[in-house]
Amino acid sequence: MAVSSSSWELPLVAVCQVTSTPDKQQNFKACADLVREAARLGACLAFLPEAFDFIARDPAETLRLSEPLGGDLLGEYAQLARECGLWLSLGGFHERGQNWEQTQKIYNCHVLLNSKGSVVTTYRKTHLCDVEIPGQGPMHESNSTMPGPSLESPVSTPAGQLGLAICYDMRFPELSLALAQAGAEILTYPSAFGSVTGPAHWEVLLRARAIETQCYVVAAAQCGRHHEQRASYGHSMVVDPWGTVVARCSEGPGLCLARIDLSYLRQLRQHLPVFQHRRPDLYGHLGHPLS
């Protein structure tokens, strides 16, 4: 069943893998180079990972480097989208929200730009990563970040109906089921997975989300050492609705490409109509449809 058309007529997406540092301009240059390469290769949509803007050394530096959505950095990415003529999934922007002055905390915000550089939608990460994994070091995202208040309905893109999530969200299947029931054909999990959880869980979780929702899953990832205190697993990939990894980045910064075949997705859903077979009378709605 792992048959997916590779016709040049199908929309092409690019998944960008980077190693962000605390240097925002260096990070922008690295991301912009990959986006321009994606455009040159014919992609209609390029995905950047969580923390594409920067990865700081501590919460204080994270807050200091953060910006509002209307700041200079997003303006540069809007210009990049216009210049390249493609859509950009900016997978986790450190956003100073409207309540910044009161809270002194930020949002982890997934921003989707269209090819004119306009913000189509934003999703603020709802599940914050407060974990302590032996051998990986503690992660307390809530020290500097507030959880988002809601999920966002999937939006129409040149590649298909796109549902937005971020990294740790992939551990909560209710979210992916809600997006799928709301019409998502592509789920995206921009991430910065650690060196211990990465080898154990990264691919397994992404393939599981694809199989259970019968969606394409696109996962742009951070890779390598960001600074002396943090490193990321990498292995950016695209998974098709059958659970097959159809594109994967090699080690280090770079990009991979995949065709999105929605006719294949619809055929698979017709052959294996799991959403028609659910029994909410027995176990409730595991992921309520979005309003």
Instruction: Judge residue 288's burial from the number of C-beta atoms within 10 Å of its C-beta, 0-12 exposed, 13-18 middle, 19 or more buried.
Output: middle
Decide the pairing of beta strands 130-133 and 137-140: antiparallel
Give the C-alpha separation, 212 to 185, whole Å. 12
CA distances from 157 to 46, 89, 123, 162, 171 (A): 11, 11, 15, 7, 25
> Residue 250: its pLDDT value, please?
85
Task: Give the number of residues written for the chain.
Answer: 291
Active site residues: 50, 125, 167
> Residue 274: its pLDDT value, please?
96
Give the C-alpha separation, 54 to 13, whole Å. 23
Each residue of 200-213: pLDDT tens digit? Answer: 999 999 999 999 99
Name the pLDDT band for 3 (thresholds 50, 70, 90). very low
Number of C-beta neighbours around residue 291 at 10 A: 7
> Residue 5: its pLDDT value, please?
47
pLDDT above 50: residue 2: no
Give the C-alpha separation, 281 to 238, whole Å. 34
Each residue of 230-278: pLDDT tens digit? Answer: 888 999 999 999 999 999 998 899 999 999 999 999 999 999 999 999 9
Full set of structural domains in the chain with CATH:
12-276 (3.60.110.10)
Name the pLDDT band for 290 (thresholds 50, 70, 90). confident
Q: Does this model's pTM top 0.85?
A: yes
Please choose, from the candidates 148, 141, 104, 99, the residue with its C-alpha nearest in 3D space to the C-alpha of residue 122. 148
Mean pLDDT of 174-196: 96
